Amino acid sequence: SGEEQSPLLFQFHKDGFLVLEQFFSAEECDSMRRQIQGIVEAMEVPPHCRTAFSTREEEQLREQGSSDYFLTSGDKIRFFFEKGVLDEKGNFLIPKEKSVSKIGHALHAYDPVFKQITHSPKVQELGRKLGLERPVVVQSMYIFKSLLAVTPHQDATFLHTEPLGRILGFWIALEDATQENGCLWFIPGSHTNGISRRMVRAASGASTCVEFVGSEPAYDDKQFLPLPIRKGGLILIHGEVVHKSELNSSESSRHVFTFHVMEAKGTTWSKENWLQPTPELPFPSLYT
């Protein structure tokens, strides 16, 4: 009931986000970074990045390969690269570990370290405090944040549910996230107006694998609040809160592990979402 709501919960529902400093230990953060280091060292460059292309047809094949690689990454551990880091034969132009922008989307299911973090007792306890009855993990990503800015968006644009309000992001800083290296910025309270844009799977045979329906409103820069957070901190992100990150203008990286949870009770996952559960990997329960 409303009376029993904790101050933390109240804050989360008011702002659409919640900052929990020192949620994970430095050791837990370092174990995730070490694990990723090993994964990157063993990484093979995906085939669609290795084709030198000269004709429009080869270019299309490459784009098709790239979109298939993305669309079928929900139940795998796959690599997404910064632009311009590979030559046309798929060889690295810069150090391997600086070339990857993110790894997704099933670290939580297939990697022992990330699985342990995702289902750690304190995460499960937090889920219960938030009143989640049947939370399932829909995706996870390791984000390197070397350079790029991330434009203002709502996670529910990409992960649509009926009804809305069933998606929750867990965003874990594995290093200090500062204004210089690209911390998150939020518009407090912006999670109460629904969504104006959706990313859906394109009809088969279309030139792109996904398309956007609706339009992104123009957001007022002055409304965004920066949320720097120290290593080990967790930011809870409501699926409809508007947030962004600026480009990383520092020398230091800003590694993050993030995963999304859906309250499955009474919820329908959109068949049009790019990400779909598979027979190999139905969305696993957060609670173990």
Q: What is the CATH number of the domain that holds 241?
A: 2.60.120.620
- The verdict on pTM exceeding 0.85 is yes
Are the beta carbons of 111 and 130 closer than 8 angstroms?
no
Residue 154 lies in a domain: yes
4-30: per-residue pLDDT in tens? 678 888 999 999 999 999 999 999 999
- For residue 277, being part of any structural domain is answered with no
The SS3 assignment for 176 reads: coil
Is 1 within the bounds of a domain?
Answer: no
Task: Kindly state whether residue 103 falls inside one of the protein's structural domains.
Answer: yes
Decide if 122 is inside a domain.
Answer: yes
Least confident of 107-111, 203-207, 275-279, 280-284: 203-207
Structural domain containing residue 83 = 7-269
pLDDT per position as a tens digit, 168-186: 999 999 999 999 999 999 9
pLDDT (tens digit, 9 = 90+) per residue, 48-66? 888 777 788 888 888 889 9
2 located within any domain: no
Q: Are strands 256-263 and 167-173 parallel, antiparallel or unpaired?
A: antiparallel
Query: Could you tell me which of 236, 149, 235, 243 has the C-alpha nearest to residue 187?
Result: 243
Is 152 among the domain residues? Answer: yes
Residue 278 inside a domain? The answer is: no
Q: How many angstroms separate the CA atoms of 164 and 240, rounded?
A: 8
Q: Are 40 and 96 in contact (CB under 8 A)?
A: yes
In tens, the pLDDT along 115-137 reads: 999 999 999 999 999 999 999 99
